Each structure stands twice: as structure tokens, then as C-alpha cells.
Amino acid sequence: MIKPGVPAPGFVKRIGAIVDERRCTEFRSLDSAELVNRLTDARMPFGWTVNPYRGCEFGCRYCYARPTHGYLGHANPEEFEQRIYVKRADDGRLVARLRKARESGEEVAIGTATDPYQPAEGRFGVTRSVLEAVRRVPGLRVGITTKSPAVTRDLELLREIAASGEVMVNVSIASKDAALLRRIEPRAPRPDLRLAAMAELTAAGVATRLFAMPVLPYLTDGEAELEALFHAAREAGAREAIWNVLFLRGETHGFFLEFIGREFPRLLARYRELYAGGASAESAYRARIGEMAERLALRAGFPGRSRDDRIAAERPARRQQLELTW
Ligand code: SF4
């Protein structure tokens, strides 16, 4: 149970000093017993997560991780992008956990609740240190999800890791429309820069995948727009496209609808209707988008699939791996 404005007991002693302040953003250190966390939820296609930071300066208005800042004592959802926590963990422990992950055969997902290449990475390099530890554990399966072309800084390291294991860089792009995304993802890099990074990674032999997520109802769900995105990602060398309709979990529901009311007021009633049932858009809408996205992805040359299909396909293997590991 989170008490508004009060850090959860497990976090009180871990929150450290302010280590930097820039652009109205405060950075604090956060001691972390484990940077590599086990995930026992068989609904996810990966078995381990690494989030080098808590909070994310990119500030996407739909970010489902925003409410997790409540555990750190932040009652105002805007603080997710203004108060960034920089994790610190023991290097030996990091390698030991990655070896355990390798034994399990399951993917380590880097950046499930924060962007590992947000601006803080340029100053603190936590993601870089995680990848350096990954290099010491050959044979690991790693997935990295980002909206930032800064991932290409680690291109040589990623190539090395790919040569002895498996790496997939999931580049998250909801639309090619930079002006629209600037309103919705205020500090995230432009989509053309993300596509250029995808092409650079591909040319260097690092596998990439398009995360066309979230599909934002009435904003990025146009057929021509999605088709242009899929084609651009395919041209940039992405091996696969995965999509998912906007999901509004917990407090993100109210936060995002308030944003829609302010920025796109003509859409508010339609959003209220579509999300009347809670976190998911109504099933008929999701089915329509799924059918369209699959058709467009195939037309662009992808073996495209929705996020749910990916999970369903990988779930039996996940279950078996969990049974063997635990
Ligand atoms: S980049 Fe990802 S983690 Fe960061 S605010 Fe956007 S959705 Fe959230």
C-alpha cells in the first residue's frame, strides 16, 4: 500500500544523495541490492528485467511506469520525469545474477520501466556498465528497449555481445509524425532519429525490432500512417514489428485522459467511451487495429505480430523454463 508522499519502507534507506541537477530535473542515487530482477510472471516473454534508472526524462504522457514513482514518495505524477533515480549495484553481484539468467535460458529485458538511454545515461553510464557485465557472460539472451538513438554509442559493445550471445534492440516508435509525438512524448528523440539509429545498428549486424507501441486511438491509428511507419522500419532493417494498443493501467488512466482533455479536447469523449471498461480499449477496437496492423506489417515484409501474439508464442517455453529453474 503506497502512502501518498511517503517512500515505501523498502526504499527509505536506499534513497541516496542528489548527484546532479539540470533542466529542472533532479538526479538522486538509489542503492539497489539487485539490478537484475527475476520475473516469475509467465505472461511476459522475458524472465529477467534490468532498469538502470527509476523515472524517465522523456516524459511520455501515456507511460505506464509513471505510478511506480509512488513507491519513492512522489505523489505528483509529473515527478516521474523530474526526479530520476540512478541505480548503483555491486559489479560482482551483477555478473553473478546475469550468470543465473543465462542458466535459465530466458531473456534479460533491459528497459521495461524506464528508458536505458535517456539523457541521464550520458552522465551516469549505468546502462553501459550493465552491458559491460553482459559481455562477461557469453551466451546470454538480451533485449533492449529504447526510444533513443544514443543506443548507437554502445554499438561496438553490442556487436561483441551479439557475437557470443543474442541481442535484440527494440526501437519504440508510435508514429513518424514528429510534431505529434513532440506533444505526446515531450522530450523523447524524434522518430526519424530513432529510425536512423535502427539502420545504423542493423548495418553493424545488431538485430532490431520495431515496437509500434502504443497505438494511440484516433492519434496514431490511421492506416496510411501505420503503413508508413512499418515500411520505414523495414527499410531501416528491423526484423520484426510488434504492436499494442494503448493500455492505461492504474493512475495512468486518469493522468492520460486529463492530458487528452487539455491537448486534444475533441477526442476526450471518444477516449472516455473507448476506455470505459478500465485499462484496455474496448475489444472491438483492439480487434480492428490488430487485423489492420497485421495486414500492414505483412505488406511491409514483416512477420508482424501483436504483443499478445508474441507472449502467447513464447509462453509455453517460458513456463517450461520457470518450472526447470524454480
Ligand atoms: S521512454 Fe518509456 S519509460 Fe520513458 S517515459 Fe516514455 S514510455 Fe516511459
pLDDT tens string 110-154: 999 999 999 999 999 999 999 999 999 999 999 999 999 999 999
| CA atoms within 13 Å, Cβ hemisphere of 309 | 16
Q: CA Rg, the chain, in Å?
A: 19
Instruction: Report pLDDT digits (tens) over 263-319.
Output: 999 999 999 999 999 999 999 999 999 999 999 999 999 986 767 776 777 655 655
Predicted confidence at residue 43, as pLDDT, reads 81
Instruction: Report pLDDT digits (tens) over 10-58.
Output: 888 889 999 999 878 999 999 988 899 998 777 888 999 999 999 999 9
Predicted confidence at residue 22, as pLDDT, reads 87
| CA atoms within 13 Å, Cβ hemisphere of 311 | 10
**Ligand 1 pocket residue status of 255, Cβ below 6 Å:** no
Closest atom of ligand 1 to CA, residue 111: 3
Helix, coil or strand: residue 28:
strand
| 108 against 326, higher pLDDT | 108
**CA 56 to centroid of ligand 1, rounded, Å:** 6
Predicted confidence at residue 3, as pLDDT, reads 74
**Ligand 1 pocket residue status of 65, Cβ below 6 Å:** yes
Instruction: Report pLDDT digits (tens) over 89-105.
Output: 788 999 999 999 999 99
Residue 108: CB atoms within 10 A of its CB come to 26
**CA 58 to centroid of ligand 1, rounded, Å:** 6
Question: Which of 147, 173, 190, 244 most suits a substitution to test ligand 1, by most atoms within 8 Å of the C-beta?
Answer: 147
**Ligand 1 pocket residue status of 217, Cβ below 6 Å:** no
**Ligand 1 pocket residue status of 115, Cβ below 6 Å:** yes
d(CA 162, CA 99): 16
Which residue's CA is the closest to the ligand 1 atom numbered 3? 114
Find all residues with CB under 8 Å of 4, minimum gap 6, and list them: 70, 75
9-321 in CATH: which number? Answer: 3.20.20.70
**Ligand 1 pocket residue status of 241, Cβ below 6 Å:** no
Helix, coil or strand: residue 37:
strand
Predicted confidence at residue 304, as pLDDT, reads 62
Q: Where are the domains positioned within the chain? A: 9-321
Instruction: Report pLDDT digits (tens) over 211-245.
Output: 999 999 999 999 999 999 999 999 999 999 999 99
**Ligand 1 pocket residue status of 60, Cβ below 6 Å:** yes
**φ, ψ (nearest 5 deg) of residue 232:** -65, -40
- 213 contacts 243 by C-beta, under 8 angstroms: yes
C-alpha cell at 233: 522500419
**CA 65 to centroid of ligand 1, rounded, Å:** 8
Closest atom of ligand 1 to CA, residue 145: 2
